[in-house]
Structure 1
Amino acid sequence: MIKASEFVEAARKLGFEGYTGVPCSFLTPFINYVINDEKLTYISSANEGDALATAAGMVIGGKRAVVMMQNSGLGNAVSPITSLAYIFKIPVLIICTLRGDAEFKDEPQHELMGRITGKLLETMEVPWEFFPHDAGDILPVLAHADNYMRTEHRPYALVMRKGTVAPNALRNKVNTTIESEKLVFINTDIKNNISSRNQALKAIVRLTNPEETVIIATTGYTGRELFACFDRANHFYMVGSMGCASSLGLGLSLARPDLKVVVIDGDGAALMRMGNFATIGAYGGANFIHILLDNEVHDSTGAQSTVSAGVSFAKIAEACGYGAVFAGNDVALIDKLFATSTQNKPLFAHLKIRAGTLDNLPRPNLTATDVLRRLMNYINSSF
């Protein structure tokens, strides 16, 4: 058994200062130690996939990161592991507990995942080894992980068994108090004046200074249309991991408070991972701007309806603690959004747009890794 301090301090020497995750009782001492240290960052995510995407955002911003989860939640992280961290080549250190370990009696819901955790990681091409049980093994294990991530730029996993880390008391409670500024603007323009996605994107690009702003566009037509019409080095086009644009943007905004991070989301994507609204409201700062373009359909797959017609994303964002919230169907709403500032809370806009996109819409002709490296070079960041 090791002390949490022994691992965390060794990891800190290698640059690991950002932590995200969803708790597991095996991880409790580890998480408590990180929370107690004010120089480390801990983000408590709504689910494991968001935790991984937030860690990936930190890494893009130049802050090495660890994502912690129970293996029963590993399935929630499959999409961002395989279609975000893998294809963009983003190295995050995964610490995954082994519930359902054959050597220990455990609850029945952990049995199957306990048997397949290693195989699942291997199927996703994530190399792994057991989390160190003895203090003398910490440096060699971290060296293996560090060498692989620096060489391959992909995730590496440590699987933690029961009783690996000695108890560590929690002293500092994470402050996640919601203190919304309650500034809400409701646009009541009539439905037939609804804007197009292209009009919204044009307004966003016009109102952002590329030297101090990163724009993250969600999966589907949003990223493709932004690339086709307004490609810039400060743009990041999500081509997978649907719903994770906002969690990725949160991680980047926390790692780089000197940058303004603008996430352009969609209704289908936001519905898929709505729990991240609460995480953004709790941890997001004034440099985070979240814009949701809502056409009430999954546009890129044939315009099948989402359920967003009955959802007030603006009220959800307000309730989750965003500092200023706007909603409506006039693209002028974007101007009002960017003219607003808060002291320390994120901004949100819910803009209704019409379905459809440009004729013969191309896909980005840059590879995913080219897009990321271009962005990181532009913001002077590195792994």
Structure 2
Amino acid sequence: MIEAAQFIEAARARGFEWYAGVPCSYLTPFINYVLQDPTLNYVSAANEGDAVALVAGAVLAGRRGVAMMQNSGLGNAVSPLTSLAWTFRLPQLLIVTWRGQPGTVDEPQHQLMGPITPAMLETMEIPWELFPTEADAVAGALDRAVGHMDRTGRPYALVMQKGSVAPYPLREQAPRATPHPQPLSRLRGVPAGELPARQQALQRVLARTEPGSTVVMASTGYCGRELYALDDRPNHLYMVGAMGCVTATALGLALARPDLTVVALDGDGAALMRMGVFSTVGAYGPPNLLHLLLDNGAHDSTGGQMTVSRNVSFAAVAAACGYGAAIEGDGLDVIDALFDGAAPGPRFARLLTRPGTPDGLPRPSVTPPEVKLRLMRHIGAPVAAVAGNA
């Protein structure tokens, strides 16, 4: 058994200062230590996948990060681990607790996940080792993790057994105070066929995002492809997978780089998939994060199947979750209102758009690792230590 400080301070010495996760009783000493150190950063994620995506955003800023989770939630993180962290080569250290470890007695819900945890990590090409339980083993474990991350640009996991870390008490915490503004509506009842096209909305975004001071992250599917076709800029990142994770990734970058304006271009299907991130953005989100939801009511890139988005007031959800401002409408002026606002926290806008995509829409010719490295260099993030190979 080790003390939390023995691992966290050794990790800090290697650049790990950003943590995100979902609690597990095995992780309690770790989380309590990080929460009470004002020089470290911990974000309580709504789910394990959001934690991975958020750390990926911090990595884009040139930071090292740790995603912590119980192995029962490893399944929630499969998509961002395999199609965001792996695909873009955004390395992070995973600390995964081993509930239901063979040879131990645990709750029924861990009886399957326990034995298959190592195989799940190996299937995702994530090398792993047991979390160190002796002080003199910490440095070696961290050095192996960092070596793999720097060499490959991909995650490395430490699997934590019960009793690995000694208890660390948590002082009483004051709840986060967040505003709850009234959502603003500019819905005029425009007929569906007269709604703006997504391309028009993206053109308006391009006009409002100066490359030197903004980063624009586009959700997976046609949103990123249309943005690329309109103008491929070095301050863009096109999500090619990890559906629903663009906002958490943008949050990670915005927190780590408060000097940049970070714009998350979301889609209705993606937002519905991971609505828990609204609460995380509302609690932790800084004023340099702008969240724009382009809602065409359909899964456009898979044949136009309807989503249930038209039954949801996303602006009301954002306001209730603590965004500094939230607006929705059916005209392009909504985008101007988003960029011109001056709320004390993150700002949200939902624009209704009509379905449909231009014919012959190209896919990005730049690879995800190239997009990542280009963006990091553009914003002046240190590349060599954390970016891996292109």
Superposed pair shares fold, TM > 0.5: yes
Between the two proteins, the alignment pairs up a number of residues equal to 382
Contact 1:126 1:155 in 2 (8 A): yes
Using the TM superposition, name which of 187-196 and 210-219 deviates more.
187-196
Cα distance in 2 for residues equivalent to 1:121 and 1:177: 38
5 Å matches for 1:356-371?
Answer: 356-371=356-371
Q: Which residue of 2 aligns with 1:123?
A: 123
Q: Which residue of 2 aligns with 1:336?
A: 337
Q: Normalising by structure 2, what TM-score?
A: 0.96
Cα distance in 2 for residues equivalent to 1:27 and 1:46: 16
Are residues 1:104 and 2:104 paired? yes
Q: Which residue of 1 aligns with 2:53?
A: 53
Q: Which residue of 1 aligns with 2:223?
A: 222
Are residues 1:198 and 2:199 paired? yes
Cα distance in 2 for residues equivalent to 1:74 and 1:274: 19
Ranges in structure 2 where 5+ consecutive residues have no aligned partner: none
User: Match for 1:102: what amino acid?
Assistant: P
Cα distance in 2 for residues equivalent to 1:371 and 1:268: 24
SS at match of 2:350: strand
Cα distance in 1 for residues equivalent to 2:269 and 2:34: 34
Using the TM superposition, name which of 174-183 and 92-101 deviates more.
174-183
User: Match for 2:84: what amino acid?
Assistant: L
SS at match of 2:111: helix
SS at match of 1:67: strand
Cα distance in 1 for residues equivalent to 2:265 and 2:174: 28
- Measured after TM superposition, the shift of residue 62 of structure 1 is 1.3
Cα distance in 2 for residues equivalent to 1:136 and 1:84: 34
Contact 2:215 2:263 in 1 (8 A): yes
- Measured after TM superposition, the shift of residue 353 of structure 1 is 0.1
Q: Which residue of 2 aligns with 1:372?
A: 372
SS at match of 1:28: helix
5 Å matches for 1:123-162?
Answer: 123-162=123-162
Q: What do residues 267-317 of structure 1 show as CA deviations (whole Å, max 9, x unaligned)?
A: 000000000000000000100000000000000000001111111111100
- Measured after TM superposition, the shift of residue 185 of structure 1 is 4.2
Q: Which residue of 1 aligns with 2:254?
A: 253
Contact 1:35 1:173 in 2 (8 A): no
- Measured after TM superposition, the shift of residue 183 of structure 1 is 6.0
User: Match for 2:159: what amino acid?
Assistant: V
Contact 1:182 1:323 in 2 (8 A): no
Pairwise CA RMSD of aligned residues?
1.1
User: Match for 2:325: what amino acid?
Assistant: A
Q: Normalising by structure 1, what TM-score?
A: 0.98
- Measured after TM superposition, the shift of residue 245 of structure 1 is 0.2
- Measured after TM superposition, the shift of residue 180 of structure 1 is 2.9
Q: What do residues 50-102 of structure 1 show as CA deviations (whole Å, max 9, x unaligned)?
A: 00000110111111100000000000000000000001001100000000012
Aligned-residue sequence identity (percent) comes to 55
Q: Which residue of 2 aligns with 1:26?
A: 26
Q: Which residue of 2 aligns with 1:164?
A: 164
Cα distance in 1 for residues equivalent to 2:284 and 2:348: 14
- Measured after TM superposition, the shift of residue 264 of structure 1 is 0.4
